[in-house]
Amino acid sequence: MKNPSLKDTICAISTPVGEAGIGIVRLSGKKALRIADEIFMPKNGKRPSQLPGYTVHYGHIVRRSSFVNRESSTNHESRITNHEVIDEVLLTIMRAPKSYTKEDVIEINAHGGITCLRKILDLVVSKGGRLAEPGEFTKRAFLNGRIDLSQAEAVLDVITARTEAGLRAARRQLGGELSGLIRKITDAILEIQANAEASLDFPDEELQTFEYATIEVKLAEIIVELEQLLDGYQNGRVLREGITTVICGKANVGKSTLMNRFLKQKRVIVTPLPGTTRDAIEEIVNVRGIPLKIVDTAGIMHAEDEPSKEGVRRSKKYMESADLILLVLDSSDELTKEDIDSIDAVKDKKIVVIINKTDLPERLQINEVKKRLLNKKIIRISAKKDKSLNRLYDAIYNMIWSGSIDSSHQGALTNVRHAAAIEKALHHLESAKSGIADNIGMELIAVDLKDARNELGIIAGENFTGDLLDRIFSQFCIGK
Ligand SMILES: Nc1nc2c(ncn2[C@@H]2O[C@H](COP(=O)(O)OP(=O)(O)OP(=O)(O)O)[C@@H](O)[C@H]2O)c(=O)[nH]1
Ligand SMILES: [Mg+2]
């Protein structure tokens, strides 16, 4: 639905579909309390609309139906009301504006199970509720001014966080850390812009020179601050999306065996024959709290048939685009042309060299490997016997964090949309700064400053477009 109305009272099942101890149906909007009155039979006899916010009540969800009964002997008419009990529930009342959406919100804690929840939802709809779109509750929280857009995005990050570290970063953003920082910087730019515009009214040359100098200093400070934020983005992105880690090497060295170790299950086919893996296989794993998007690739080999050749081409593509390479060599085999091809393809990347099959007699020319991969971390393991995998996980962890990141500031910036806005703002600020160096007119500098502020405003969702909101909220689940 394009631009669904804010006037509707929306409803949804907010818990996952399937059997569960409890399930929650949620309503938000002007009619939420009235609908609750109609479908809830409270134990204490009080209607939800008469009760205060932040209270929970025990009772039943009932479908009321009434009909007129006429006594044929007396011709006397009476109205009879039937109550079909749908479920025994706890009903929570949150009154506007102290709720998730800033509207009246009702949450019905019913028994889990889709049939029961669907019945309650259908009943709510029959009383005037409208099925919510994905993320519509959160969208209302944004449109009603309870959170800004970056916080709304953080809600999604909290829900989808794959690791503790990712969750911490999302929670900080939800708490408004990024919003606060951006607001502070935007205010500082506004102050400079005001100075620049004021100096236009006083074209005294001495004063102008003074203003140029102060503005230059302040601008430089802001630029540094934004650059630092962008520097942290790479780490933030890692927390959010996972770092693309490609397992590569020649055929039969044990790449898929290693992949299965990461996944702690026999997910990928392993055989003693070279060329077992034909197509790349991607999975998300969690290594020491860091999400890795790990890719097992087809072994680098001289392939005869077209599918295998295509497999090798794909492997090379993955090797090019990887954030981190795990290059696997076979300790029990001599260094071959295919090993050297693999080494040459990845030696300039972030790489951990894995010497596998150390349970077998060693035939690999290790010194030759070291010579070709100077200063690269080399880890000896046996994937098959599950030996020294912990040392590999440590090496990956250290490689990613380089041991130098202050954990309290890890990734204040995690979102590509925010990073893009900051980059654009920086571009305008740099332009203002060089304008000052070139002594161009203050009015042009003021324009750049205003453009920079507009770009930063996009992060919090100022001047948002319907398309942007659709793009963001369509990623949410229904009921959030
Ligand atoms: N002894 C020993 N054998 C291993 C080890 N790791 C893997 N293997 C064996 O090596 C063979 C090849 O393993 P795979 O994991 O399929 O190797 P791959 O690199 O994925 O091979 P391709 O997909 O063909 O490129 C299998 O027979 C594995 O059991 C190890 O650490 N020690
Ligand atoms: Mg394989």
Q: Which of 188-192, 198-202, 332-336 has the lowest mean pLDDT?
A: 198-202
Q: Which atom of ligand 1 lies nearest, measured to the CA of 296?
A: 20
What distance in angstroms lies between residue 271's CA and the mean position of ligand 1's atoms?
Answer: 7
Check whether 280 has a pLDDT greater than 90.
yes
User: Has residue 475 been placed in a domain?
Assistant: no
Same domain, 221 and 308: no
- CB of 257 sitting under 6 A from ligand 1: yes
Compute, in angstroms, the gap from residue 363 CA to the centroid of ligand 1. Answer: 16
- Evaluate: CB of 311 within 6 angstroms of ligand 1: no
Reduced to 3 states (helix: H, G, I; strand: E, B; else coil), residue 180 is helix
Establish whether residue 357 lines the binding site of ligand 1, counting it when its CB lies within 6 angstroms of any ligand atom.
yes
Residues 286 and 382 grouped into a single domain: yes
Q: What is the four-CA torsion angle of 189, 191, 194, 196, rounded to 10 degrees?
A: -70
Tell the residue nearest (CA) to atom 8 of ligand 1: 254
Question: Locate tokens 């506004």: which residue?
Answer: 190
> Ligand 2 mean position to 264 CA, how many Å?
16
Q: What is the mean pLDDT of residues 162-176?
A: 84
- Residue 161 is predicted with a pLDDT of 81
368 and 314 assigned to the same domain: yes
Q: Which is more confident, 198 or 245?
A: 245
Confidence tier at 87 by pLDDT (50, 70, 90): very high
What is the mean predicted confidence (pLDDT) over 122-139? 96
What's the whole-number mean pLDDT along residues 198-214?
74
302 contact partners, CB below 8 Å, separation of at least 6: 338
294 with 224, same domain: the answer is no
Rounded to an integer, the average pLDDT of 324-340 is: 96
User: For residues 124 and 110, is the Cβ–Cβ distance under 8 A?
Assistant: no
Residue 284: inside a domain, yes or no?
Answer: yes
**CA-to-CA distance for 342 and 298, rounded, in angstroms?**
12
23 and 63 share one domain: yes
pLDDT-derived band at 402, boundaries 50, 70, 90: low
Output DSSP code: residue 134: B
| Closest residue CA from atom 2 of ligand 1 | 357
SS3 content of the chain, % helix, strand, coil (to 5): 45, 20, 35
> Which CATH number does the domain housing residue 318 bear?
3.40.50.300
Q: Greater confidence, 74 or 292?
A: 292
Q: Which ligand is nearest to the CA of 249?
A: 1
For ligand 1, atom 7, the nearest C-alpha belongs to: 254
CB within 8 A of 392, min separation 6: which ones? 326, 352, 354, 379, 381
Domain match, 207 and 281 both: no
Contact indicator for 156, 239 with CB cutoff of 8 Å: no
For β-strands 10-13 and 22-28, DSSP reports them as antiparallel
15 and 124: one domain?
A: yes
Q: Which ligand is nearest to the CA of 328?
A: 1
Query: Which residues does residue 10 pair with via DSSP β-bridges, in sequence order?
Result: 28, 130
Write down the number of H helices and E strands in the chain: 16, 13
Q: Residue range 408-429: average pLDDT?
A: 83
The verdict on the CB of residue 251 being under 6 Å from ligand 1 is yes
φ/ψ bin of 78: left (φ > 0), alpha (ψ from -120 to 50), beta (otherwise): beta
Mean pLDDT over each residue of the chain, to the nearest integer: 90
CATH number at residue 218: 1.20.120.430
270 touches ligand 1 (CB under 6 Å): yes
User: Which residue has the least CA distance to atom 27 on ligand 1?
Assistant: 272
Q: Please tell me the distance from the alpha carbon of residue 125 to that of residue 43, in angstroms, as a whole number.
A: 24
Examine the domain organization and report whether 71 and 218 are in the same domain: no
Predicted pLDDT at 404: 35
> Does 228 share its domain with 257?
no
Tell how far the Cα of 176 is from the centroid of ligand 1, in angstroms: 48
**Ordered DSSP codes for 400-446:** HHTT---GGGTTS---HHHHHHHHHHHHHHHHHHHHHHTT--HHHHH
Query: What is the β-pairing status of strands 22-28 and 105-111?
Result: antiparallel
Same domain, yes or no, for 345 and 393? Answer: yes
Which of helix, strand or coil describes residue 304? coil
CA distance linking residue 428 with residue 423, whole number of Å: 9
> For ligand 1, is residue 384 a contact (CB within 6 Å)?
yes
Tally of domains in the chain: 3
Query: What mean pLDDT comes out for the span 98-127?
Result: 96
Residues 378, 312 share a domain:
yes
Query: Does residue 143 belong to any structural domain of this protein?
Result: yes
From the CA of 299, give the closest atom in ligand 1: 25
Are residues 265 and 137 in contact, defined by beta-carbon separation less than 8 angstroms? no
Domain boundary, last residue among 365, 380, 401: 401
What's the rounded mean pLDDT across residues 419-444? 92
Instruction: State the residue range of the domain holding 384.
Output: 242-401
Determine the pLDDT at residue 406.
37
Cβ(457) – ligand 1 distance below 6 Å? no
Does 152 reside within a domain? no
Dist. CA 173 → ligand 1 center (Å) = 43
Asked, for residue 157, whether it belongs to a domain, the answer is no
Q: Is 407 part of a structural domain of the chain?
A: no
- Ligand 1 centroid to 258 CA: how many Å? 8
Tokens for 246, please give them: 């490609």
Same structural domain, 225 and 328: no
Question: What is the token pair recorded at 470?
Answer: 């659709």
Does residue 366 form part of some domain? yes
CATH of the domain at 27: 3.30.1360.120
